[in-house]
Amino acid sequence: MNLEKYLVISDEIKNALENNLPVVALESTIISHGMPYPQNSESAIRTQNVIRESGAIPATVAILGGKLKVGLTDEEIHYLGKKGYDVRKASRRDLAVLVSQKLDGATTVATTMILAKLAGIKVFATGGIGGVHRGAETTMDISADLEELAMTDVAVVCSGAKSILDLGLTMEYLETKGVPVVGYQTEDLPGFYTRESGFKVDYRLDTVKEIADAFKTKQELGLMGGMVVANPIPKEFALDSDFINGAINEAVKEAEKQGIKGKAATPFLLSKLKEITKGVSLASNIELVLNNARVAAQLAIEYSKISK
């Protein structure tokens, strides 16, 4: 496989991987499509700093000018933040065309997993994974993130699936695909903005070493696919479930009214939530991402110790 003409890994990340240093992948859709400018790029750089402070090396991933880039500069992050929705939201199906046409793309969870695997990165931090959308029994709107988790062996630290989704169906889908959902110090599946969702994770593990051991064992057994590490939002930033669920229902109704579907649905719903909650949801979103970055850094450190 001739990847050199497509894949560009920064010198820092390349050196870290060659020396078995802990590296954490970060997506770029959260920059271009998840938050408004300048909070998007500021939060991305802040997330990178949190990973460094925790003892690991951040590797933000994106497609720039048709190149699969692993390890962005601050300037490249600001570029993505300023361009916002003008940057294509890139999932697995978009990669070949964006690369061949030398276009830009903000990587989703699915695409970040693909690029992380190509580079050799095993741990990835994000806010929430995509999943089965509400009403999917008729629309068949199911995120490609779930299929990627079934195929690509990267551990994804997140606060569960985005709460705008059907969490019950998402868990059923992950079970069918054989993707373990591990709760970090919790038996409850986080509800993104809330610490609980009413659903249970598959296993509770109380240390990052236990999670690293389980993920390493999964690979050694030849079991294809990734692992969801569900990490609840810190208590001080969690939102009241009635408050946020009411806002989500209002946002979903507005999306249905406007006929917004597919890949446009999540950015619209997150933006609408920010409007309805007067910015409270955005503040919580930022904090949960930072918390996931800390845990992912710790996980990457433990994984590097057992991979020597």
**Residue 174 C-beta-side C-alpha neighbours within 13 Å:** 28
CA angle 218, 57, 294 (to 5 degrees): 70
Around Cβ 250, how many Cβ atoms within 10 Å? Answer: 14
Helix pair 241-258, 265-276: axis angle to 10 deg: 130
Please tell me the distance from the alpha carbon of residue 250 to that of residue 70, in angstroms, as a whole number.
Answer: 38
Looking at 69, 162, 263, 274, which residue is catalytic? Answer: 162
Provide the token pair at 82. 């300023």
Clarify whether 18 is annotated catalytic: no
User: In the annotation, is 210 catalytic?
Assistant: no
201-207-209 Cα angle (round to 5): 115
Active-site positions? 27, 162
